[in-house]
Amino acid sequence: MKEKMITPDAIISEMEKLRASGQETEQETTGRNTGTDFPIDVLPYKMQRIVREARATIGFPEDYLAPSMLVAVATAIGNTMIVEHIPGWKENAILFLALVGRPGACKSHPLSYAMQPLIDHDSEMAAQFEKEMRQYLDTLNIPAKKRAEQGLDPNPREPERKRFIISDITPEAVHRIHSQNKRGLCLVSDEFSGWFKNFNRYNNGSESEFWMSVFSHKFAMADRKSSASGIFIRRPFICVCGTIQPEILWELASNSRSSNGFLERILFVIPVNQDMGKWNKERRLPTFPMTEEWKAVLQKLMSHSTEVDANGDFVPRMLGFTQEAIDLLFDWQNEMTDRCNAGQSDTVRAIASKLEIYAVRFCLILQAAHWACGEGELTISADTVSKAIRLTEYFRATATKVRKIITEQAMPDIQCAVLADLPEHFTTAEGVAIAGRNGMSERTFKQWLKDKANGILFIRESHGKYSKI
């Protein structure tokens, strides 16, 4: 059956509407982030149900749990699936995600919940590794001759620990662990700042460039003296996720990371409501085994088998697009490109260039999630593309918010005062008058306005007319 074609304009219009309300009662949703703008309805129904049940029973904000689950899905996919929307241009499921929120906004617990099935897997593998390591060491203690007599391997090989999750480690350790886990990894940093603040902690190299290369799925090599031997990883796959408070976002943009493309590679989740939630004595128990269902979704992805070549590298399965899906994706990208080429700032263009990559990755992740939930096949449909586009547009809005926060954090007090006094819409003359009352000269204000009319602080609506973001 031919799919119903969805236009980019219809998607953008749909994004502006309020999402459909869930089935929870007012009592169940009181006291936690009920006003969410993360489009959780892009998820498979089974995952939506888990997200809403976790909010109603545990109090997890949907905005933090839903995107954390997407990272978990991406990690479980790893190097087993790719897409090719343009001949020769292959994309994987790598995501870099930061959950932004004030203290007490409940960021860490949803992230841990989403990752728990992967953590449980790693725990089981750690126990198995310890057992195999003891056997390995016992075998080494037996003379070579006796090993053969006892039917043991005369040249035993040191076991390797299988895992999905890594945390505070150096690039050298990442290379070593990844070489033993070619399916893929996820760096989980509860405090996102702990990741980028530790760049170059142990060496004078540039870890920003290392992680930008990982994002692009480029081959990785380790030839440092500290390495036992040279390591070559043909298809690096490492997701990154963590939490961060708004007031330290400016540190993420320091050391040229706001201008070298590093910042644009990170997806930001910023809930509208970040109030602390009250404990509710009347909160009910789950009506279904949501934790077990979530584990089953990831287990299906983790157990998905794919061919492995002679070098031990995964040969990923290529997910195809329906014709309607590829048409929709190309139409959306062309429309976004026209908007960027029509006078948008370099900052907005940089955000757009990475988000069009993420749009393709979202197609892969969402389709795989629907398959794992038993709600679709491994062929990307127009419906999946429309959801991927809506997800991309959400992250376009949050990227702009983050840039605005970083810009304001770096502004001197006089600029902050002028910005606070400016109305939502203003003319140049009105702005000059407001600036003057705050001690800013006309020349300085006009230059500042020109520099910041980039879609981050201001938008130039027409000649002499502006609006604040």
Q: Using one digit for the tens of pLDDT, what is the confidence trace for 327-336?
A: 999 999 999 9
Cβ pair 51, 110 in contact under 8 A: no
Cβ contacts of 19-28, under 8 Å, gap ≥ 24: 22/52, 23/52, 24/52, 24/55, 24/56, 27/280, 27/282, 28/55, 28/56, 28/57, 28/283, 28/284
Taking the C-alpha atoms of residue 208 and residue 192, their distance in angstroms, rounded to an integer, is 14
Q: Which pTM does this prediction carry? A: 0.84
**How far lies 244's CA from each of 55, 248, 261, 268, in Å?**
21, 7, 19, 10
Least confident of 39-48, 63-72, 159-168: 159-168
Question: Nearest-CA neighbor of 181 among 85, 60, 76?
Answer: 76
pLDDT band at 391 (very low <50, low <70, confident <90, very high): very high
* Averaged pLDDT of the chain: 84
Q: Which residue shows structure tokens 């800013």?
A: 440
Q: What is the pLDDT of residue 25?
A: 35
Continuous segment of H or E residues that includes residue 413? helix 413-421
Q: What are phi and psi of 303, to 5 degrees?
A: -90, 0
Q: Percent of the chain scored above 70 by pLDDT?
A: 86
Query: From CA 176, how far away is CA 363, in angstroms rounded?
Result: 31
Between 260 and 75, where is the model more confident?
75
**C-alpha dihedral sign at 323, 328, 331, 336:** negative
Q: What is the pLDDT of residue 278?
A: 80
Which CATH class for the 8-140+155-409 domain? alpha beta
Buried b (16+ CB within 10 A) or exposed e, 116-145: ebbeebbeebeeebeeeeeeeeeeeeeeee
Residue 422 CB neighbour total at 10 angstroms? 20
pLDDT, tens digit, for every residue of 156-201? 888 999 999 998 777 778 888 988 999 999 999 888 887 887 775 5
Confidence of residue 426 (pLDDT cuts 50, 70, 90): very high
Residue 353: is it exposed, middle or buried by C-beta count within 10 angstroms (0-12/13-18/19+)?
A: middle
Residues 82 and 410: beta-carbon distance below 8 Å:
no
304-312 long-range contacts (CB < 8 A, ≥24 apart) are: 304/77, 304/80, 304/81, 305/80, 306/79, 306/80, 306/81, 311/234, 312/182
Higher pLDDT, 55 or 170: 55
Q: Give the per-residue pLDDT at 248.
A: 87
Question: Which class for 196: exposed (0-12), middle (13-18), buried (19 or more C-beta within 10 A)?
Answer: buried
Q: Is residue 457's pLDDT more than 80?
A: yes
Which range in 23-37, 42-56, 128-142, 219-233 is most confidently predicted, on average pLDDT?
A: 42-56
Tokens for 120, please give them.
């449980």
Return all residues near 397 (Cβ < 8 A) that are at least 6 apart.
Answer: 37
pLDDT value at 232 more than 80: no
Express as a percent the part of the chain with pLDDT over 90. 48
Kindly indicate the confidence band of residue 312, based on its pLDDT and cuts at 50, 70 and 90. confident
pLDDT value of residue 224: 52
Question: What's residue 6's pLDDT?
Answer: 52
**pLDDT reading at 357 higher than 90:** yes
Helices (H), 5-79: 8-15, 26-29, 45-57, 62-77
Least confident of 75-89, 128-142, 403-417: 403-417
Q: Please tell me which residue, 7 or 403, carries the higher pLDDT value.
A: 403
More confident residue, 35 or 106: 106
Query: What's the CA angle centered on 355, arms 349 and 356, to 5 degrees?
Result: 95
Residue whose token pair is 């906004």: 105
Of the two residues 276 and 162, the one the predictor is more confident about is 162
Predicted confidence at residue 62, as pLDDT, reads 93
Average pLDDT over residues 353-369: 96
Q: Encode pLDDT of 190-229 as tens digits.
A: 888 878 877 755 555 567 788 888 888 877 655 554 444 5
126-135, 302-311, 340-349, 388-397: range with lowest mean pLDDT: 340-349
Q: Nearest 5°: phi and psi at 425? A: -125, 140
Give the angle 242-226-220 at the CA atoms, nearest 5°: 55
Residue 339 has pLDDT above 50, yes or no: yes
* Confidence bin at 404 (pLDDT 50/70/90): confident
Question: What are the extents of the domains in the chain?
Answer: 8-140+155-409, 413-468
Please calculate the CA angle 345-241-57 and round it to the nearest 5 degrees.
115
* 380 and 320 Cβ atoms separated by less than 8 Å: yes
CB–CB of 106/32 below 8 Å?
yes
Instruction: Look at residues 403, 355, 458 and name the one whose alpha carbon lies nearest to residue 249.
Output: 403
Helical residues (DSSP H) of 79-191, grouped into ranges? 108-140, 144-149, 171-180
Cα angle 326-329-114, degrees, rounded to a multiple of 5: 105
Structure-model confidence comparison of residues 30 and 62, the more confident one: 62
Contacts with 226 (C-beta within 8 Å, 6 or more apart), sequence order: 172
Q: Which residue has the tokens 């860490």?
A: 108
Least confident of 136-145, 318-327, 328-337: 136-145
Who wins on pLDDT, 114 or 447? 114
Q: Is the dihedral of CA 212, 214, 216, 220 positive or negative?
A: positive
pLDDT band at 73 (very low <50, low <70, confident <90, very high): very high
From the CB of residue 380, how many other CB atoms can be counted at a distance below 10 Å?
26
